Structure formats: structure tokens, C-alpha cells
Amino acid sequence: MSYSTADSLRPVTLDDVRGAQKMLMGVARVTAMEGSRHLTQLVGSPVHFKCENLQRTGSFKLRGAYVRIAGLLPEERAAGVVAASAGNHAQGVALASALLGVRSTVFMPKGAPLPKISATKEYGAEVRLHGHVVDETLAAAQEYAHETGAVFIHPFDHPDIIAGQGTVGLEILDQCPEVRTIVVGIGGGGLAAGVAVAVKALRPDVRIVGVQAAGAAAFPPSLAAGRPVSIKNPATMADGIKVGCPGEVPFGIVAELVDEVRTVSEDELSAALLLCLERAKLVVEPAGASPVAALLSDPRGFEGPVVALLSGGNVDPLLLNRILRHGMSAQGRYLAVTLRLTDRPGALATLLGVLSVVDANVLDVSHVRTDPRLGLTEAEVELHLETKGPVHCAEVGQALRDAGYTVID
């Protein structure tokens, strides 16, 4: 299965996806399908997770990368391949190249998480750090391809990539033949397009819902315009779907076969990631948790059985820590509050006593006595508290005010 530049816009068919599935035997894992009791209760019908976060390299990206590189002509393989990515595609290209004996160079932004850089190197790629945003990194990789003759491996805008990603759809139908709705995150569109090609060819009755982060949602305006439209400065914690413009090839497929594209907020993404970790014991990155976020935001808006495709689990530990706190805060389980009190012996102990009475667990305390904003006898205290939900947060705030404290925020 090889496509030249001239026919890179060739339609992707079910036969292409089936061919990719044969090619990936023994390479990509058939990842697990896990049920979610909590989401099943919320949605009112069975909800299952398709766990591509447990795929080799930690995401679905290996599938498309391997199929694309395996389809290269001998002279193209000899020239090597090059890619640009902040993480998942980088690792997929690196491992696929190593398995196929092809030299790979991967350009990554200078701010890419260290674990992703290290993993890409360990899979065998030469890593070059360039630029601070993906667009700069992408330009550098394309310039390298032009100068050296290396084949540029696009993360989503190529028929081979889409066919490889579509193998996830075949697995879903095999593992959950009764499925009625598949929910999948969308960045450039390669995964959603591939799944749609496979599923709609075999089960046109299955509804496919794409999900984008609200701060990086290029598909809604693109679908409205009937062509790929760029958005400026996409911003979201879900870097796996932070794409400013859909790909030409996947856009046409998504426009034709995906039934609906929804958006989710950052709060909903962090709450979804927290749910996956707590309830399903699955480490999922924000982009991978986007289908769960969509289910949480409108649980009765999906006909079941539902399969939520968890596309990846590569999350930087530092980011994970911030996201978990954000998710806990969004659920009213983490509260940061700043207040002023009289600076006298025992004042802090008295404050902590008030919190003890309302059963708020103190995680961190910052006590400031010297600041131009404070009066001579004042001190400012910033508290980070573990709480039990929105109602408990309100109770904590009221207890502090009843005790005579001035709550600043």
C-alpha cells in the first residue's frame, strides 16, 4: 500500500484499512476494551473504553506511522524519514522506523516534555529540538526533507496514515459488535477519519461523534465553510489535539462520515482525566480523555452502547500533577483560599482549628507577614485545602467568615 505525492488525496477505502490491519499484525497490539460502570450509570446504557493509551508507544500513532513507512519504495526507505511532533507521533515514527530498519529524524519543539524526548530517542530516532511552537518545528522538518531527500511523515494528512488509524475502528466492531455510538477526539482528523471509513463501511448505523477542545476547535468553522480553515493561537492542555487547521485528506472524510463534532472545556477535560485515573485506574492524557469529557458534559446525549476511544496515555508527570489539581478544583475537591488575620501568637493555630472543625484537609500553608499591602498587625495566609465537593467548599468559606476572617479569594 504505497501512495505517491500525485495521488496523496486518493480516497481511503475499507480495503485500505483491512490491508493496514494485516500489515500491523504482530506490530500493533489489539488493545483492551474495558467497561465503565460509572459512565454506564450516567449515560443510562453501557459505556466501554477502547484503551489505545495501552498501545505500544502509549498511543494509536504507531498504527498509521508503521503503515505509511512500510509502504515506502526501497529508494525512499534508503533516504530515511523525518517527522515533526511534540510527542505521540514522534514516538510512533521512531518505533515504526526502528522496526522497519529505516533511519528516522524527528524534530520536536524546544519546550517538549523531557519524558517524550527521551522516549523518542530510546525508540531509535535522532531528535532535533527546533522552535517553540509546532508550526516552527514543522517548517524545520519540511526544510530538512527538502534538503536531504528524507520522506516527510505527516501526522495525519496522508491516506496511509488514515488507513492505519482506521484499524482501531475494525477492532471496536469486533470487540463490541453491539456498539451504537463511537466517541473519538479530533485534532488534525486522522484518527476520526480512519475510524469513520472502517465503521461506516460495515455499520452505517453507528453514530460517530468527534470531540475537540474548545480552545483548539478548528473543525466547526471548517465544516461550516466547507473547507479546512485555520484558527489562530489554538490553546488547550490537550496537546494531542491542539491542531490549528484540519488536514485536507481527513477533512473530506470527516465532513462526509462523522455525524457530529462537539467541543469540551478545559475543566471538562481535567475532570475526565481524573475520572479515568480514579474510577478506571487508567492513565490517560488530556486528548485521550476528550471523549470521556464529552460524555460527562452531556451524558444523556449519546445512544448506547457507547465506545469512548482513549487515544493516548503519554502525559508529562508535571502536567499530570497540575491537571489533577485543576480537575479536583473543578469538582470542588480542592480549594485555594487567601485570607487576612491579626498577626499575633497562636493566630495560625486558631485558624487551623476552624478548618479542623469543618473537616477540611490542609495540604499547604503560605504565611506572609511582611508586605507593603499589609497593615502593621496583619498577616496574609494562603491555604490549599482538600475538600469533599462544592457544598463542602461553601461550608468552609462560610465557617471562615463566621469566625471573623477576611477572605480575599
* pLDDT tens, position by position, 22-81: 999 999 999 999 999 999 999 999 999 999 999 999 999 999 999 999 999 999 999 999
What the block records as the C-alpha cell of 155 is: 501526522
Q: Residue 9's pLDDT is what? A: 66
What region does 389 belong to: left with phi over 0, alpha with psi -120 to 50, or beta?
left
Indicate the helix (H) or strand (E) that contains 220: helix 219-225
Out of 3-12, 137-146, 165-174, 265-274, the most confident range is: 165-174
In the predicted model, is pLDDT for residue 2 greater than 50? no
CB 295 within 8 A of CB 264: no
24 closest CA partner among 1, 50, 58, 47: 1
User: In Å, what is the CA distance from 204 to each residue of 189, 267, 279, 349, 408?
Assistant: 19, 33, 32, 65, 56
Q: Residue 397's pLDDT is what? A: 84
In the predicted model, is pLDDT for residue 284 greater than 70? yes
What the block records as the C-alpha cell of 120 is: 523518542
Comparison of pLDDT for 198 and 343, the residue scoring more: 198
Distance CA 289, CA 298 (A): 15
* pLDDT tens, position by position, 68-122: 999 999 999 999 999 998 789 999 999 999 999 999 999 998 878 788 899 999 9
Return the active site residues.
61, 311
Q: What three-state secondary structure class fits 148?
A: helix
Distance CA 70, CA 2 (A): 8
* pLDDT tens, position by position, 299-314: 999 999 999 999 999 9
Q: Residue 367's pLDDT is what? A: 72
CB 159 within 8 A of CB 16: yes
Q: Residue 3's pLDDT is what? A: 39
**pTM: predicted TM-score of the whole model, two decimal places:** 0.85
Burial zone of 105 (CB within 10 Å; 0-12 exposed, 13-18 middle, 19+ buried):
buried
What region does 189 belong to: left with phi over 0, alpha with psi -120 to 50, or beta?
left
Confidence of residue 362 (pLDDT cuts 50, 70, 90): confident
